[in-house]
Structure 1
């Protein structure tokens, strides 16, 4: 590997960063992140990065604001240290959910954070499975948008009988994503059509597609509180699904998610390690796949000037 390549990690997911470095055969470069007595953050880069090609791994996970500030200050420190190019590697970009002005007097925060990253010193961004693909266009620097769909699809191919399986989108907005997943496995798909049933905003799900007697796999970009997943499971069970499974790229699993999933009538849940999963969030029914090889391959291609899109051809 070229000596000009350096990889740093902030505090959100050092395990993923270490695994990426192991795949590339290089050590994780040292950075010291500390706090002053007034709670202000300080970041010090602990090695020479002058004219180096630098990548910083940081997911926007809880505590989100702290992790964003860590990344911003690290990017600025690297720019001040004369790094040749700085790439922000953001496995999970949580503010991709804030992609439009759907209420009066609110911020399109996905765009705001993009602007802040560039101001801080990011020359490029590498991310995975944005909740809203149009967020890609919020950046005025190059963005490489990876997907874990092939990784998750391969897990289901190896561990399940696909002959009786159907992929399920939790709503019409997720149909395009689930369509790519179902095409990868060459299985049919169904969509949950949510209808408002009265003025209290209660929604009732109806299945568009055939799930009776079939093994349904719900596919999402992320699982946060698991509320949508839980209602989808109930709808599929009521529609006669033989078994229910779920796949999601980002296993955020916040709030009541773990307790909901612990008691939910679902056979298996597959997520990736874009989000660090502490011991308290482990359940026997949850499998976590690694996306480190994909990020490592993308970093190697960016560093050497090769096509990142070719990884998915």
Structure 2
């Protein structure tokens, strides 16, 4: 498909630079504008490409259970992702498929830093660099509609000479995670869409989601793919079997074990065999388990009870 003329963006030769003001149209798949030095685009969810092969599907399942329990949470997450604060007005008939059926507290782009980040490749396609779980949950919450989402462009890389050069750039700048369930994968093996039905499941990534603030605290700023690095290390220490995730109590026991392993490990331990990989300490490892927060997960009103609740 031939790329249409771009009127507001010109290719940048560095991160988040070289972006002019106005409206852009590209192959009728996305459009965008500049908000306070941040270029935001709107794009159909099906046109968003991932930069990682897997997501923690238990994390997405928890989000969906939360949306079923409290519909406001769905619209709050959507509005936050639009850089528009929380939801201001919605009803039982509101749906993400119909933008006029609800209203966010602020205009889209009012809080651009809250919008999930992405890059534009030489082929004109949009690649998500943060927010795979959020996009997957929002898509799954509205399965019969190709919803429209806002993304914040950090790198406009259409000036690069080829997709091979693009993927080299992405790896050099730590904007892609190419560790699959059985080892390293090629960029061409990444899924073609972001979503719970098309991406692999990484159960270790889900464990790290639930242990945030319990066995580690995300440092600020956080390095890209922090939970995947920690998950890769955890995978080298323990195996997760179907029995570990079959029931709420089994999953809680799994989290207890994982939390202890993480806090007891040497802070200088590298998360991958590669000595250039970040250490546990660099990724926010805590010195002891926060048992109060851990036990709260298993309360009758805790995250695990909601995760294992029947729809």
- What is the TM-score with the length of structure 2 in the denominator? 0.27
Q: Work out which structure has the larger RCO, using CA pairs closer than 8 Å and 6 or more positions apart in sequence.
A: 2
Greater share of strand = 1
